[in-house]
Amino acid sequence: MTARLREEVALAARRLAVEGLLIGTAGNVSAVDDEGGHIGVTASGVTLADCRPDDVTVVDRTGTVIEGQLEPTSELGLHLAVLATSDARAVVHTHAPYATAISCVRDSLPVLHYQQMLLGGVIKVAPYATFGSQALAGHVIEALGDKSAALMANHGAISHGATLDKAIDHALLLEWCCRLFHDTSLLGEPRTLNEAQQADVIEAAIARGYGTPRPIKTH
C-alpha cells in the first residue's frame, strides 16, 4: 500500500509543478494511507517537477520514518499538525506566485467570488514565522480554523482536503482567488461579498448540490 501512496504523492507534486504552484524545491505534499494510517510526504530538497516515488518518504503520525531513504520535508511538523487537527487526509503547501504575493501585503483574502466559499470564505494570513518551526505550524493551525486553506505571511499557501485530489483542487482555487484579487485591485477597489451574500451562497450550494454531478431526474 505504501508503494501506491508514494506514487500518488509524487504524481501530485508533478501535477502542481506543471500548474506553476510548486517551483524547484519550494513546496511540499503529503497524504495519508487509508489502510495503514501512515503518511507519505515529499522529501527535502527534491525538485518537485521531477518527483518520483523514491522521493517520497513514509512516516507515522509522530514523524518517525517508516520507509524511504531521504529526509522528509523541513515542513513535516506543519503537515503533521494540520493532519492532527482537522479531518484532512492530504496537505499541499506551495509558494504559488499570486498566493505568495498576497501573503506579503494582506492580513486576509476577502471573498470576491462565490467559489471562494468552497474554501470556507475569507482566507486568513498566518503571521510570519521561520519555515519549519513549531511557531509557524501553530500560526497556520490558528489561521486555518475550519477553513480548507490559509496563507502564510511572506511565505506561501497551504490547503488540505479529504483526498489528495481535493487538496490539489483547493490549492488551485486559492491561487485563482489570489490572482483575481490581484487583477481586480489593479482596476480599482475590489467589490467584496458581505456576510449575508456569503451565507446565501452556502444555502444555494447546499440546496442545489453545487459542485456534485447529478443525474437528470426522470418522471
Which of 119, 102, 112 lies closest to 194, judged by CA? 112
CA 78 to chain centre: 12
Residue 20 φ/ψ region, left for φ over 0, alpha for ψ in the -120 to 50 degree band, beta for the rest: left
Query: What are the DSSP E strand ranges found in 46-122?
Result: 56-59, 65-67, 90-94, 108-109
**75 catalytically annotated:** yes
Please tell me the distance from the alpha carbon of residue 93 to that of residue 17, in angstroms, as a whole number: 12
Please tell me the distance from the alpha carbon of residue 124 to that of residue 210, in angstroms, as a whole number: 24
Sheet harboring 90-94: ordered strands across?
Answer: 65-67, 56-59, 39-42, 28-32, 90-94, 156-161, 149-152, 123-126, 108-109
Q: Mark out the alpha helices in the chain (DSSP H runs).
A: 2-18, 76-84, 97-103, 134-144, 164-187, 195-208
Catalytic residue among 7, 75, 189, 195: 75
Please tell me the distance from the alpha carbon of residue 163 to that of residue 90, in angstroms, as a whole number: 6
Catalytic residues: 75
